[in-house]
A and B are shown apart, each in its own frame.
Chain A
Amino acid sequence: MGRKEIRVAGFGGQGIVLSGSIVGKAASIFDKGFAALTQSYGPESRGGSCRAEVIVSDVPIDYPYVVSPQVQIILSQDAYAEYGRNAPPETLLIVDSDLVKIDPSQNPKPLSIPASRMAQDLGRPVVANIIMLGFLAVRSDIVSCEALKKAILDSVPAGTEDFNMKAFELGYNYDIEHGSEV
């Protein structure tokens, strides 16, 4: 499969670093490949702009940063301005439709899902990132769905596993239900 790169960007508190960690764990522990996660560090990861980058590969990874991402998950307007807008056309752009207003002249075919609203409706806004990962699972083959599920179960606090799986399925099925439209 070679080298694949994913960037998740938004603001601190959206679970961006955890999303990156789950993808990395899924790829390297459960899919048995290699993954390297780098992330924002410091006050910006706790409220300011926040970013996680995961490199996934079937061979050991040398350069640990994004060169040209296959997937970008964008969760804020600022992050869209910084990374989303000018992304190359081959980059799969996934946005939270309630948080990011897309410039259709730049990105005619983004994939969007109102993950934060769906999480709010579930009663727990913190699972928006897990909904997003469910959505990612159908749309990209960088990590397998099974590995993602295992990595989520391995990463979330004890007692919240069922709820997180429910959130994951919600994101997964959203794509199945809205696949042609999004």
Chain B
Amino acid sequence: MTEYQELTGKFFINGDVACAEGAISAGCRFFAGYPITPATEVAERMSTRLPQVGGIYIQMEDELASMNAVLGASWAGVKAMTATSGPGFSLMMENVGLGVMLETPCVLVNIQRAGPSTGLPTLVGQQDMMQARWGSHGSYEIIALAPISPQDIFDLTITAFDLSEKYRIPVLIMSDEVVGHMSEKVVIPHVAPESLLNRRRPEVPPGEYLPYKTDVGLVPPMAVAGEGYRFHVTGLTHDERGYPVMTADAQDRLIRRLVDKIRLNRDDIIKYKETQVEDADIIVCAYGITTRIAQFAVKMARDEGIRAGLLQLITVWPFAEERVRELSLQTKAFVVPEINYGQIVLEVERCAGGKARTILVPHMGGGVHSPETILEAIRETAQ
């Protein structure tokens, strides 16, 4: 195996490749996946880069196995990732839940295409946003980030690994075909290993370690398989030892902690970006590629004298609930463009709670909105 070859500099690369490079910079050394358009280039790049940095790439038989392999690698102490799209994301759902239940740090990238089913394999969609939140069964919280450019997906892939290590949870990168296949300049800096977050290791001697016992905070330290710490993991409801306990009490303790470790830390997790919202009568709320079209439309609206602003959701899950509530008190309406027939708009509407109107600007997929479509919605709302 070769030494770690750091790749720094400026590159003109697409979002999929930038995502893979972000993972390498974040310290990811394991990728298991099953190629699928438009996420294939993530796998392709990882298959080239991982062997160069002493990591492992495995092309699996399908997406179920891919997600399981990623969980296994994480328990072996490695930062691990997979990437998929469309039907592959559906197939990974069960094991996303397993990752949540076992509190397994890992990153799952979804370069979204238009569905349902095989849909439009080569064309863009933002139609898995609710699946990202609720796609696995059970009551749980998840973290999902939405990049808007190749540079952004590079940066957010590092953030995704940091969050997954810190909170011991699968983190989803909910990108899309346009960001994945568009090429732009990406600056890859030197990422100092000490700037990256890593899961806390047990500080007690092996005999005293309980794999799901918390010490400080709600996230327990995680042992590495094979280092002498005894541990047991199961998808069944478990106690601090990791053994199954089939009672409502055990369920209550475990699920409350799994959910609260995210909910109570939402201020640390949730990131958003605001442009000209201070005096805005209309706030366009967007995420992913649609943010850039919305930016263009907001500029055109301002040129016409309409007081429009932009709220970009960088973290889509957990949802920026409190901020949307606050903004609903100072703005007249939210305009929500998304490449689906209404998903995140439901959250915006819920949080606006009737204080501000909420208008969906849907696109069924296969392309992005034209700036004029969003501008028209802003104009109509402004009247």
Binding site for B on A (CB under 8 A): 21, 24-25, 28-29, 34-39, 41-42, 61-65, 151
Contact = CB atoms under 8 A, between A and B. Distances in A.
Contacts of A28: 10, 12, 184-185
A63 to B, nearest CB: 4
A38 B185 contact: no
Contacts of B122: 41-42
B292 A64 contact: yes
Nearest to A67: B371
Given A24-B12, A62-B296, A64-B178, A37 B37 contact: no
A65 B12 contact: no
Given A62-B293, A64-B292, A41 B181 contact: yes
A62 B292 contact: yes
A63 B184 contact: no
Contacts of B76: none
A44 to B, nearest CB: 9
A26 to B, nearest CB: 9
A37 B292 contact: no
Interface string B167-184: 000000000011001111
Contacts of B181: 38-39, 41
A37 B180 CA distance: 11
Q: Chain B CB within 10 Å — which of A37, A39, A42, A62 has the most?
A: A62
B69 interface: no
Given A28-B184, A28-B185, A64-B178, A35 B12 contact: yes
A55 B283 CA distance: 27
A41 B182 contact: no
Interface string B293-315: 10110010000000000000000
Given A24-B12, A25-B12, A42 B185 contact: no
B296 A63 contact: yes
A62 B182 contact: no
Given A21-B183, A63-B292, A63-B371, 4 more contacts: A28-B10, A29-B11, A29-B185, A34-B184
Contacts of A61: 184, 292
Nearest to B177: A41
Interface in B135-188: 177-178, 181-185
A147 B368 CA distance: 31
Nearest to B181: A41
- Summarize B's interface: helix, strand, loop or mixed: mixed
Contacts of B288: none
Q: Chain B CB within 10 Å — which of A28, A63, A151 has the most?
A: A63
B184 A36 contact: yes
Nearest to A154: B12
Given A28-B12, A29-B12, A63-B293, A42 B37 contact: yes
Nearest to A42: B122
A36 B177 CA distance: 14
26 contacts: A25-B12, A28-B12, A28-B185, A34-B184, A35-B184, A35-B185, A36-B182, A36-B183, A37-B182, A37-B184, A38-B178, A39-B181, A39-B183, A41-B37, A41-B122, A42-B121, A61-B292, A62-B292, A62-B293, A62-B295, A62-B299, A63-B292, A63-B296, A63-B371, A64-B178, A151-B12
Contacts of A25: 12
A113 B328 CA distance: 58
A129 B168 CA distance: 50
A119 to B, nearest CB: 24
B81 to A, nearest CB: 23
B337 interface: no
B298 to A, nearest CB: 9
A39 B182 CA distance: 7
Interface in B170-226: 177-178, 181-185
Interface in B37-79: 37-38
Interface in B254-312: 292-293, 295-296, 299
A182 to B, nearest CB: 30
Contacts of A62: 292-293, 295-296, 299
Contacts of A24: 12, 183-184
Interface string B118-140: 00011000000000000000000
B12 A64 contact: no
Contacts of B371: 63
B131 to A, nearest CB: 23
A41 B371 CA distance: 23
B153 to A, nearest CB: 14
A42 B366 CA distance: 13
Nearest to B182: A38
A41 B181 CA distance: 8
Contacts of B296: 62-63
A158 B11 CA distance: 18
A16 B56 CA distance: 34
Contacts of A29: 10-12, 185
Contacts of B182: 36-38, 64
Contacts of A37: 12, 182-184
